Amino acid sequence: MDEIKKLEKQIFDKNYVNKIPFEFFDFLAGLIVTPDGIDTEIPSGEVETFFLTNKNDLILKLKDKINEVFDTSYTYFWQAYTKLFFSRYADSFKKNATYSVRRIQTPEEYSLVPQVGIENFEDKIYVAFEIDKYIPKFDNGEIDFDTLVEREKKEHNILAFFSSITSIHFLSKIIWELFKEKTSRSFVHYRFVYGRELEDLVLELSFETLFFFAKTIYRSVNEEFNFNYVIDTVTEYYIKTTVADSFKFSGDMEQLEETLNEVFDKHFNKMDQLTDETKDDLLVEFVHIILAFIESGLAFPEYFYEIKYREASDFDKQDYRVQYAFDLYNYMDNGMISPNILESYGFIITDDSMRTALEESFLNEHLLKRFLELDR
């Protein structure tokens, strides 16, 4: 591989790369989106002609070296380079693939495409919170979709995630305001030194609290009972069994307590000017506030959903690199599931992991730059 890298460095200088037909990069991009075409798709003859007439001696050496390393017998340089590129891409993807969810058009919205035109639809945005930790993967980094669907039937992580993020603004805001009002640890000083860090702490504490109760409610769903009855039963139980002034979580909130302690440790470790005594005091104050909101019934998600998983549409596969998707249905005020899809989302490789895969596949800043121009 060292000899291959040496030849690549000799060939792919800035001037050379800027002259490569743009179709070559579009060809590679198409195979990233639809890898099944790697044995059938070919670029135009213009691509191979360029390689044969520019640094031909080095190009032939590189092609022969690739054939030697991979035990192949490619005739054309573009074939050999494609093999090299996707070998590196697969290695990087396996190590670095992480996933997010992207808002995509619902099936109902797609039905309007012939009338309106896809270019007139509002762009969908990424959800701001990371979901990769809920995604099972194969050894090659791809989503293990069947395992995901079966696991979510029991764990409800993605449902709980959406119930949490739709309520987090309200809860985090009131926790933050109450903390500023009640804290006894010279908060005025810490607000200026660690204001952003403390706000981030409050945001994560709020999310994990909502997430715990959302999962508890989803796990308690029983077809014999209306969903509102389940929500009310779970909520009332925790309200009655929580005493904020005890500064203690009840036994059945042990998992929540452990998670919150991990959050405290992670964020406090970033605040090196805080003394251990101050950290302990702040922890006690936050715990009291969270318990008070549980006791008052304000620490529970407001919105709940049903989810249906599916393969993505051909458009989403091509345009957004989405292979799998899901539709969200909201629970209505009467405790029944709405018949209409609220939103649709697709699982998508994160920008950071895609960037890393491309960097490690090209191993050349000039090639990478030309490739990224495809998105402009």
What is the sign, positive or negative, of the torsion defined by CA atoms of 29, 34, 38, 43?
Answer: negative
Kindly state the average pLDDT of the residues 232-253.
Answer: 95
DSSP 223: T
DSSP 257-322: HHHHHHHHHHHHTT-TTS-HHHHHHHHHHHHHHHHHHHHHT-SS-S--EEEEEEEPPHHHHHHS--
Percent of the chain with pLDDT over 90: 71
The backbone torsions φ and ψ at residue 15, rounded to the nearest 5 degrees and listed phi first, read -65, -40
User: Hey, is 246 helix, strand or coil?
Assistant: helix
Which are the contacts of 267, defined by CB distance < 8 A and separation ≥ 6? 197, 198, 200, 201, 204
Nearest 5°: the CA angle 371, 87, 362 is 30
Q: What is the pLDDT of residues 103-142, one digit of tens each?
A: 888 888 777 766 666 556 565 554 445 799 999 999 999 9
Task: Decide if pLDDT at 184 tops 60.
Answer: yes
Residues 34-47 as b/e (b if ≥16 CB within 10 A, e otherwise) read eeeeeeeeebeeeb
Q: What is the pLDDT of residues 16-55, one digit of tens each?
A: 999 999 999 999 998 888 777 777 788 888 999 999 999 9
pLDDT in the model for residue 180: 82
Kindly state the average pLDDT of the residues 139-167.
Answer: 96
Span between the terminal Cα atoms of the chain, in Å: 32
DSSP 137: B
Question: Is the distance from CB of 215 to CB of 157 less than 8 angstroms?
Answer: yes
Task: Decide if pLDDT at 351 tops 50.
Answer: yes
Question: Is the distance from CB of 286 to CB of 233 less than 8 angstroms?
Answer: no
Kindly state the average pLDDT of the residues 351-371.
Answer: 95
pLDDT in the model for residue 116: 64
Question: Is the distance from CB of 194 to CB of 187 less than 8 angstroms?
Answer: no
Per-domain residue ranges for the chain?
2-96+354-375, 99-152+303-349, 167-296
pLDDT in the model for residue 182: 77
pLDDT in the model for residue 54: 94
Q: What is the pLDDT of residues 282-335, one digit of tens each?
A: 899 999 999 999 999 999 999 999 999 999 887 777 666 788 999 999 999 999
Name the average pLDDT for the chain.
90
Percent of the chain with pLDDT over 70: 92
Q: How far apart are CA 23 and CA 330, in angstroms?
A: 44
Kindly state the average pLDDT of the residues 56-75.
Answer: 96
Question: Is the distance from CB of 166 to CB of 303 less than 8 angstroms?
Answer: yes
Q: What is the pLDDT of residues 224-240, one digit of tens each?
A: 889 999 999 999 999 99
